[in-house]
């Protein structure tokens, strides 16, 4: 029988692509419940799903920050075999200029939103002694990135939470997979950049603001331009993880980005990564661009980390 897959945040980006790919699986292995907070945004998903709509794909309302919405959605589904925690929001900018509310919203959505869904599906999975929980984390769940302090912290929180849970759940034959994309070209970055250009970051000193606007923003744009992946590629990597008989605990999706997290693994003291990231941004910004271009052409990582 097909496995029921529940995905959060399917009105755009990675969630939309994944829902469509799984629903159009040539071997028809999945019955997809593609959920979103606001059903008025369902047109793009429905158009992309084509013939799968109403057959292997159904659309349902689900706000990961709302207990009632989660309960109502799960009431309509008998069994969830695979849960994909994909819904997420970003936040960039100098800490001094960000409100506590905006920071708490990041944790409410990215961290507690995922936990709310896990709490809801876990009893059923445990009873059936099978299940797979997939979490769309980020490379920022493995390494901090300047001016992404709170977003990165929310992804680190997911990594710690799910690594802990994975140990217990092996006893129940339930698998956890943390998928860690690098930059992905979706609305995510666009929404963030729109927020940032409108924001004034009150209370931030001019030096910090200059680092944000003159160093971080151009570096980030270059990173998305040079090594950004498409949501389709990321969805393909997630679909492979879901289809696997022994799902990995962690999966980085972008081979071109691997060298950066590798710095952290190379030096357990952490200094190598922090100092390299600092130098690339502040001392040798040109090197960052050259390095990224080299990564983008694929020759170096392909040689060092063959696929
Ligand atoms: P996206 O903005 O297109 O998708 C995020 C989705 O989450 C949106 O559809 C949004 O409506 C939904 N969402 C937000 N709050 C919600 C809530 N309370 N309840 C239900 N849905 C809610 O961006 P994306 O890039 O497809 O992001 C998907 C995931 O990938 C996120 O968890 C993000 O952190 C992660 N990610 C993105 C990138 C990137 O560069 N775009 C990189 C690494 C990881």
**Residue 25 located in a structural domain:** yes
Helix (H) or strand (E) holding 226: helix 217-227
pLDDT digits (tens, 9 = 90+) for 59-69: 999 999 999 99
The pLDDT of residue 299 = 53
Tokens at 138, concatenated: 């980020």
Which atom of ligand 1 is least distant from the CA of 108?
18
User: Rounded to 5 degrees, what are φ and ψ at 232?
Assistant: -65, -45
**Residue 22 located in a structural domain:** yes
76 annotated to bind ligand:
no
- d(C-alpha 214, C-alpha 259), whole Å: 25
Nearest one of 129, 127, 111, 86 to 242, comparing CA atoms: 86
**Residue 100 located in a structural domain:** yes
The alpha carbon of 274 and the centre of ligand 1 are apart by a number of angstroms equal to 27
**Residue 299 located in a structural domain:** no
- d(C-alpha 162, C-alpha 199), whole Å: 34
Read off the pLDDT band of 306 (50, 70, 90): very low
The pLDDT of residue 168 = 98
Nearest one of 128, 197, 135, 210 to 166, comparing CA atoms: 135
The pLDDT of residue 10 = 98
Are the beta carbons of 49 and 57 closer than 8 angstroms?
yes
The strand ranges marked E within 1-101 are 3-7, 30-36, 57-61, 82-85
The pLDDT of residue 293 = 60
Taking each helix axis from N to C end, the angle separating 217-227 and 285-297, rounded to the nearest 10 degrees, works out to 10
**Residue 169 located in a structural domain:** yes
**Residue 282 located in a structural domain:** no
Residue nearest to atom 33 of ligand 1 (CA): 88
| pTM over cut 0.80 | yes
Mean pLDDT on 20-28: 97
- Into how many domains does the chain fold? 1
Which atom of ligand 1 is least distant from the CA of 64?
19
Residue with tokens 């960000």: 98
278 φ/ψ sector (left φ>0, alpha ψ -120 to 50, else beta): alpha
The alpha carbon of 9 and the centre of ligand 1 are apart by a number of angstroms equal to 6
Are the beta carbons of 135 and 178 closer than 8 angstroms?
yes
The alpha carbon of 105 and the centre of ligand 1 are apart by a number of angstroms equal to 13
Q: What is the dihedral sign for C-alpha 203, 208, 214, 216?
A: negative
Residue nearest to atom 44 of ligand 1 (CA): 138
The alpha carbon of 133 and the centre of ligand 1 are apart by a number of angstroms equal to 17
Range of the domain at 47: 3-257
37 annotated to bind ligand:
yes
Mean pLDDT on 87-112: 97
- d(C-alpha 241, C-alpha 72), whole Å: 28
pLDDT digits (tens, 9 = 90+) for 165-196: 999 999 999 999 999 999 999 888 888 888 88
Write the CATH number for 200. 3.40.50.720
Are the beta carbons of 98 and 147 closer than 8 angstroms?
no
pLDDT digits (tens, 9 = 90+) for 197-256: 778 899 999 999 999 999 999 888 888 988 899 999 999 999 999 999 999 999 999 988
**Residue 101 located in a structural domain:** yes
The alpha carbon of 286 and the centre of ligand 1 are apart by a number of angstroms equal to 31
Above 50 in pLDDT, residue 307? no
The pLDDT of residue 260 = 85
Which one is predicted more confidently, 250 or 291? 250
Nearest one of 12, 9, 32, 6 to 21, comparing CA atoms: 32
The pLDDT of residue 287 = 65
The terminus-to-terminus CA distance of the chain in angstroms comes to 32
Helix (H) or strand (E) holding 135: strand 131-136
Ligand 1 is surrounded, with C-beta below 6 A, by 8-9, 11-15, 37, 63-65, 86-89, 109, 113, 136, 138, 181, 183-184, 186-189, 231
Mean pLDDT on 28-56: 98
Which atom of ligand 1 is least distant from the CA of 113?
18
Which atom of ligand 1 is least distant from the CA of 110?
32
Instruction: Tell me 257's DSSP state.
Output: G
Residue nearest to atom 38 of ligand 1 (CA): 184
Catalytic center residues: 151
- d(C-alpha 91, C-alpha 120), whole Å: 27
Reduced to 3 states, what is the DSSP secondary structure of residue 242?
helix
38 annotated to bind ligand:
no
The pLDDT of residue 298 = 54
């Amino acid at each position: 029988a097909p496995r029921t897959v529940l995905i959060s945040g399917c009105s755009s980006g990675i969630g939309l692509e994944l829902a469509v790919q799984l629903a159009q699986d040539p071997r028809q292995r999945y019955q997809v419940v593609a959920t979103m907070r606001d059903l008025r945004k369902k047109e793009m998903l429905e158009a992309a799903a084509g013939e799968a709509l109403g057959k292997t794909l159904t659309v349902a309302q689900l706000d990961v920050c709302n207990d009632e919405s989660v309960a109502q959605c799960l009431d309509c589904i008998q069994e969830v075999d695979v849960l994909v925690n994909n819904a997420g929001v970003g936040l960039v900018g100098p800490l001094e200029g960000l409100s506590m509310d905006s920071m708490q919203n990041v944790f409410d959505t990215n961290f507690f939103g995922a936990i709310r869904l896990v709490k809801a599906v876990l009893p059923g999975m445990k009873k059936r002694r099978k299940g797979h929980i997939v979490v769309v984390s980020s490379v920022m769940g493995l390494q901090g990135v300047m001016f992404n302090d709170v977003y990165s912290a929310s992804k680190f929180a997911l990594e710690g939470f799910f690594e802990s849970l994975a140990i217990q759940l092996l006893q129940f034959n339930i698998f956890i997979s943390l998928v860690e994309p690098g930059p992905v070209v979706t609305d995510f970055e666009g929404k963030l950049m729109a927020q940032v250009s409108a924001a004034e970051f009150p209370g931030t000193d001019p030096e910090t603001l200059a680092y944000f606007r003159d160093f971080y923003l151009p570096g980030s744009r270059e990173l998305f331009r040079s090594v950004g992946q498409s949501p389709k590629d990321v969805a393909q990597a997630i679909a492979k993880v879901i289809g696997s008989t022994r799902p990995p605990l962690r999966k980085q999706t972008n081979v071109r980005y691997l060298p950066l997290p590798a710095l952290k693994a190379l030096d357990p003291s952490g200094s190598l990564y922090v100092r390299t990231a600092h130098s690339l941004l502040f001392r040798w910004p040109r090197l960052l661009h050259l390095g990224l271009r080299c990564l983008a052409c694929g020759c170096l990582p392909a040689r060092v980390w063959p696929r």
